[in-house]
Chains A and B, each alone.
Chain A
Amino acid sequence: MISGVAWVFGDDLNTDVIHPPEYFSLDPERVRQGLFAKYDSTMVSRLRKGDVLVAGRNFGCGSSRETSIRSLLLNGVGAVIAVDFARIFFRSATNNGLPCLTFADPADLARVPNGGRVSVLPDQGLLSTIDGRHIPLEPPGRFVRRIWAAGGLLGLLPAR
């Protein structure tokens, strides 16, 4: 189970905002510091392991730089729940074991309190709020579960 604080965002949140290009680096510490650096410079210091990003449509659109995913993982983000995802972001997150799930009913986005505590059961497809609201998510497909089970896409590389 993933549990932490919910950080709620709107639609079309792009990767240049998630991780500004100037933080592109091979140095993990620099990559970690870049998360939402311009959007909210206090966010990195306030994020805790297991926190959950919650967003509207087309989360992660834009650049394919995987530093955005690395930065989310380095900052302990446990899952991203959105109405839907941009495809490159979804693939890269899944490949790196960061669960991305969508609401069964997009209207439920409004039921997740920004800053409230939530927990997510990725395999069951369930998000629960601390005040006992249970919000159904689309259960992950067979193919996505296979990548998760392999510990990420590279676990599916044919054995040499």
Chain B
Amino acid sequence: MSGRTISDKIIDAHTVEGADEVHRLVRVDAVLGHDATIALLADEFDVRGLEIWDPDRVILTNDHFSPPSTVERADISNRFLRFARTRKITNLLVDRGICHQLLVEHPLCVPGALIVGADSHTVMGGGLGACATGMGSTDVLFTLATGTTWLRVPPTIRVVFEGTLPDDCSGRDIVLELLRRFGESGARYRSLELVDESTGRICQDDRFAIANMAVEIGAKFGVFRPDEVTVEYCRRRDGVTPAGLVESDMDAAYERTVRMDLTGLTPRVAKPWSPANVVALKDLERVELSVAFLGSCSSARLSDLAAAAEVLRGKRVHPDVRFVVIPASMPQFQEALRAGHIATLMDAGAIINHPSCGPCGGIDKGVLGADDVCVSTSNRNFRGRMGHWDSRTYLASARSVARAATLGYLGGEE
């Protein structure tokens, strides 16, 4: 047998039963869910008289409607809360931020874990070396009841980051460049094994940004090879060193290997209406903006808020731009408050909303009208995603978004 990749090993270690050559029944270490998608399965779960296989391994959080902005969403939120409370879910995190950020802030998300979530960006857990992936409500119902799920063992594409990440770039620019190269389906059904051999080491927040958007490339997993950055993060979070870092074999069988030299990278931007419609920001013709959004599970962590604050210090948000900032979670928000970043952003004219999804999914405060042109740190600029069908969204890094917010336009700089 040829050598095993990280996802091969994690799946092997969790296999309960093999149905055929490719399908496996695996046990999971954690299940993640949020108000919208858990509410979809609650009635079915109740009608069938099912029980949660292990309430200590379930993390549920209301983030899409937090706090709810319409009566219907308040009802959905309450349905979700009733489900979680009657099931005595240990990790019910109410109004604490976006589920994916709360997952990586939780000790259940460790290197080598296998995690299923009722949302596509669950893949972000891969930033810590976990095989984490999103599924629909029916799949998650099955997993909540049994602690297992069916998986196809995916082929692995290895991506090796080399060189040095320039100061004006972040994980968002890295992943947008990956999207430019791979397209929206370049890693469809694949596990992306992300190996950081860069000189400065990609910081943990940036790894989350990269793993988060692995799903935009079609990937099932976007799993970073755990290293000292991972260990340091887990140690700070949990007070203990994570056990059993899963690494690939020397002779692991990859479908292919892609090398990416970070040294020459420049800020990237994805134009409407695809996250893979990526160009260098410097090649973008000037677009006048009406909205700038720093938020979503793809960004809005401490380092992103710090980068934006650095750009905005002593400057003003352009009068024609509404700059909406939504920290990814309460802990990120509180740390940014303590560090003074929030005050800097507010002094410049940004408005701060409660940690939640906000306008990212086109459902909460900050959605776009027909004429709006938005630059956003979120992960999808699909047509109509953030609001009106005619609105337009460009994706960029927190730094680029903050800079555009002061200028009033994106691209077309000398």
Contact = CB atoms under 8 A, between A and B. Distances in A.
B385 interface: yes
Nearest to A85: B188
Contact of A38 (B75, B120, B363, B384): B384
A interface, size bucket: 35 or more
Contacts of B40: 26, 65-67
The dominant DSSP class at the B interface is loop
B232 interface: no
Interface string B373-386: 00000001011110
Contact of A92 (B135, B189, B361): B135
Given A21-B362, A58-B218, A158 B189 contact: no
B188 A84 contact: yes
Interface string B234-274: 00000000000000000000000000000000000000001
B185 A58 contact: yes
Interface residues of B, number: 46
Nearest to A20: B384
Contacts of B383: 16-17, 38
Ranked nearest first, the 7 interchain pairs of A and B with the lowest CB-CB distance are: A92-B136, A58-B185, A38-B389, A95-B138, A66-B136, A21-B362, A16-B382
Given A22-B363, A88-B135, A95-B139, 16 more contacts: A12-B184, A14-B380, A14-B382, A20-B389, A26-B39, A27-B72, A38-B384, A58-B184, A62-B380, A63-B380, A64-B135, A86-B185, A88-B134, A92-B137, A153-B138, A153-B142
Interface of B: 19-20, 22-23, 36-37, 39-40, 44, 48-50, 72, 75-76, 79, 118-120, 134-139, 141-142, 145-146, 150, 184-185, 188-189, 218, 220, 274, 361-363, 380, 382-385, 389
Interface of A: 11-12, 14, 16-17, 20-22, 24-27, 38, 57-58, 61-67, 69, 84, 86-88, 91-92, 95-96, 141-143, 146, 152-154, 156-158, 160
